[in-house]
Chain A
Amino acid sequence: MTVILSVTLLAVIAFASAWLLRIGGQHRDERSRSAVERINDLLPQTQCGRCGYAGCRPYAEAIARHEARINQCPPGGDATILNLAELLGEDVLPLNPRHGREQPPQVVVIDEAVCIGCTKCIQACPVDAIVGAPTLMHTVIASRCTGCELCIPPCPVDCIAVAPLAMTMSHWKWPPPKLALP
């Protein structure tokens, strides 16, 4: 009798544990699916493709699959690398220069006198920052532009140029104190 009871009890415990593990496993799946989202949230969303992938989300997917390193995003720079390293528990790496260097914020400007209205840059812009219509002049909405430069190669008349984002009081930062301690 005692034997039967013990076996039954152990069986119940075993099934309960298996069930719990299964639930836990599903939960882990849930988390691994949202891992892409969580990585993507840390990327700057410029969609520039400098990481070697088609955009921020594909890069996030590649990181989640351990195909890509965390140091391939020049627009995000050191801050993004630090955040990714913290999220993924990886070592902090310097930005891979093969993908570019961290640059001050920039925007592109269309030379409106030269633009022929071909709409090619509008199609290239990943964030709809260029407005215009066929055969009519196009222009860049500076506040929407990420400076990703994707519109520059398609332009048939080379009328798009990169300009540094003008410093204004709204995004001016206090410089770090210059302190030479003995």
Chain B
Amino acid sequence: MATAEAGIAVSLAVRAFHGGVRLARFKEGVRGKPSCEAPLPQRLIFPLHAHVGTPTRPVVRVGQCVLRGELIAAPGAYVSQAIHASTSGVVAEIGAHPVAHPSGLSDTCIVLEADGEGSAVEPWPALDFELVTLAALQARIVDAGIIGMGGAGFPSHVKLKEGMGHSVRMLIINGVECEPYINCDDCLMRERAAHVVSGARMLKRAVQAEACVIAVEEDMPEAAAALAPFLGDGIELALVPAIYPAGGEKQLIMALTGMEVPTHGLPIQAGIVMHNVATAVAVYEAVALGQPLTARMITVTGGVANPANVWTPIGTPISHLIDYCGRVQSIDRVIVGGPMMGTAVLSEAVPVGKTTNCVLALRRDQKTAHPMPCIRCGECVEVCPARLQPQALYEFARAKDWDSAQNYYLFDCIECGACAYVCPSNLPLVHYYRYAKSEIEALESAQARSIELKQRFETRQSRLESEGPSSTITQEEELEPAEERPSTQSQREVIQQEVAEAIARGRAKRQLLREEGAKHGSGPDEGPQP
């Protein structure tokens, strides 16, 4: 049980959620140091496809000059986000570029060539959040392109809208950085406590929450002390035990309220809305300063010479950040996010996004363990924060028994990696769960597609039946209506001749194109035969 020095903390039951592990923190390298600002890279990359929702729609052309804060891609739908240029420059390219995704695939990105001046657009007028309408507040958050910056990247305005429709008992500002190495939210709370609390007040008003709690870990005394002077008036601080994954949404709700978010349920159904600390800062900047989200705090750590919290323009390539923090020759692998839940990237050219909280460079000497068969020790069951049976899910995934995996609530797995961390056989358990989840999702989408295809086919069939056999217009009929059809044999022959010539011309053209290889690499009957 912990209480902060200033006596502002809400005390909590220790280990209020099931399981979890105490991890080595590896945060010392960056914790004591003030944050720094990354120099501007030459090129910035903005992927159009966010983690969640519909891809954004570019609103700039190649060659167009943009200023910092200018909209370059508009939301493609309600669940989507706006993207703004994070510096001034010229749109160099809109095309495929590697992005931070486990597949290593490329995606459509807007590439911006920085001009180095950093001149910005006029900020929007500041809003007095206590006076403006909730709709105006929400519109500002949409316009500023704010999404959940804790990792999932869910558009914040959607959460707000849901919060407006329900009575919200508690707004939780999540500052529990439970993963090792990551320190960016801690840094924001230490250095910009006033902004964090202001952002929390704005979010609290937006969802009309009864209470607001800023949750931090009990080993973040500096952050708690920094926040203390700004608290009160409906904003409280809560300390949670430093047990991984205390910062998980469902785990934190459990720790703070004792309520469990049900399977397939959302926190809002329990009257809870949760936002990340960085999101709160972004909301403050959008509402009080009129600035869109164009930069964020990122922890650059691991095998670099000078690990630090770096205020980074969105779209900066990872290689640029690693160079800035001191590249070490032995860097072997780069992980975006933390060591437990992050994504290993295949290329350092990938950009940081609004959800990137950490860039972790791993050295070659950090060796990987060899997996052994499961010995059914049950350690994984003990630590699973979702109260699942990881060893059973592992066997089901191995056996491709998707039904049983779902019956054992595979989709409640938050992929925190606690099971794999404690596994004495070093089994890559989370990989199995991700594999099983993506297989099940693929099967479900195939099923949905077959239903759609069936409908299309049946619609077509009924249309053809109702129109009768002669309904489809063929080329000949279109060219020569029935009454004008040539009656004499010679005329018919002439037309047949013409049709044959047209077909021959088409074939010849096709042959020519095929020989040139101009259009397609393969001909019609050279399909992808395995």
Instruction: Identify the A interface with B (CB < 8 A).
Output: 40-41, 43-47, 55-56, 79, 101, 103-104, 106, 109, 111, 113-120, 122-123, 126-128, 134-135, 144, 146, 149, 152, 155-164, 167-169, 171-177, 179, 181-182
A46 touches B442 (CB 8 A): no
Q: Flag if A172 contacts B473 (CB, 8 Å).
A: no
Complex contact A161–B506 (CB within 8 A)? no
Can you list 9 A-B pairs with a CB-CB distance of less than 8 A? A103-B528, A120-B474, A134-B479, A155-B524, A163-B520, A163-B522, A169-B107, A171-B445, A174-B435
A157 and B508 alpha carbons, distance in the complex (Å): 9
B528 touches A104 (CB 8 A): yes
Q: Which residue from B107, B506, B524 sits with its C-beta under 8 Å from A152?
A: B524
Give B447 Cβ to nearest chain A Cβ, in Å. Answer: 9
Taking a contact as CB atoms under 8 Å apart, the answer to whether A126 and B460 are in contact is yes
Residues of B within 8 A of A114 (CB): 506, 509-510, 513
Does the CB pair A162–B450 fall under 8 Å? no
Task: Name the residue on A nearest B523 (C-beta).
Answer: A161
In the assembled complex, the Cα of A119 lies from the Cα of B428 at a distance in Å of 53
- Find B453's partner among A46, A106, A182 (CB 8 Å cutoff): A46
B102 adjacent to A174 (CB under 8 Å) = yes
Q: B509: nearest residue on chain A (CB-CB)? A: A114
Cβ-defined contact, A128 with B460, below 8 A: yes
* Minimal beta-carbon separation of A154 from chain B (angstroms): 11
Cβ-defined contact, A172 with B105, below 8 A: yes
Q: Smallest distance from the beta carbon of A105 to chain B beta carbons, Å?
A: 9
B435 near A176 (CB under 8 angstroms)? yes
Q: Quick check: A174 and B527 within 8 Å, CB to CB?
A: no
Contacts of A113 in B (CB 8 A): 509, 513, 519
A106 touches B528 (CB 8 A): yes
For B474, the chain A residues whose CB sits under 8 A away are 118-120, 134
Q: List residues 435-476 of chain B with CB under 8 A from any CB of chain A.
A: 435, 437-439, 442-443, 445-446, 450-451, 453-454, 456-457, 459-460, 472-475
- Is the C-beta of B97 less than 8 angstroms from some C-beta in chain A? no
CB contacts (< 8 Å) of B509 on chain A: these are 113-114, 157
A118-B475, A127-B453, A127-B460 in contact; A161/B503 too (CB < 8 A)?
no
Contact B524 A119 (CB under 8 A): no
Contact of B431 with A168 in the complex, beta carbons under 8 Å? no
A interface footprint on B22-35 (CB within 8 Å = 1, 0 otherwise): 00000000000000
Query: Contacts A135-B475, A173-B442 given: A164-B453 contact, CB under 8 Å?
Result: no
Is residue B478 contacting chain A, with contact meaning CB distance below 8 A? Answer: yes
A147 CB, min distance to chain B CBs, angstroms:
9
The CA-CA distance from A149 to B525 in the complex, in Å, is: 10
Complex CA–CA separation, A157 to B503 (angstroms): 6
A156 touching B503 in the complex, CB below 8 Å, given contacts A127-B457, A167-B105: yes
Contact (Cβ within 8 A) A156 B506: yes
With contact pairs A44-B450, A162-B528 given, residues A174 and B475 touching in the complex (Cβ less than 8 Å): no
Interface string of B366-400 (1 = CB under 8 A from A): 00000111000000000000000000000000000
A122→B371 CA distance, assembly (Å): 54
**Contacts of B522 on A, CB cut-off 8 Å?**
161-163
- Say yes or no for B530: interface residue by CB 8 A criterion: yes
Q: Confirm or deny: B166 has a beta carbon within 8 angstroms of a beta carbon on chain A.
A: no
Q: Which residue of the partner chain, among B435, B453, B479, B513, contacts A175 with CB atoms under 8 Å?
A: B435
Measured between beta carbons, the chain B residues less than 8 angstroms from A156 are 503, 506
Q: By the criterion CB–CB under 8 Å, are B528 and A164 in contact?
A: yes
Contact of A116 among B446, B451, B503, B526 (CB under 8 A): B503
Report how far A156 CA is from B506 CA in the complex, Å: 8
- B432 interface residue (CB < 8 Å to A): yes
Residue of A nearest to B441 (CB): A173
B437 / chain A contacts, CB cutoff of 8 Å? 174
Chain B residues, CB < 8 A from A55: 457
Inter-chain contact A119/B431, CB cutoff 8 Å: no
B431 touches A177 (CB 8 A): yes
A78 CB to nearest B CB, Å: 10
**Least Cβ distance of A26 to chain B in Å?**
27
Residue of A nearest to B474 (CB): A119
Q: How far is the CB of B390 from chain A (nearest CB, A)?
A: 14
- Give Cα A117–Cα B478 distance, bound, in whole angstroms: 11
Given contacts A44-B446, A106-B527, A158-B524, contact A134 B506 (CB under 8 A): no
- B103 in the interface (beta carbon within 8 A): yes
Interface assignment of B507: CB less than 8 Å from any CB of chain A: yes
| Complex Cα gap A146–B431 (Å) | 31
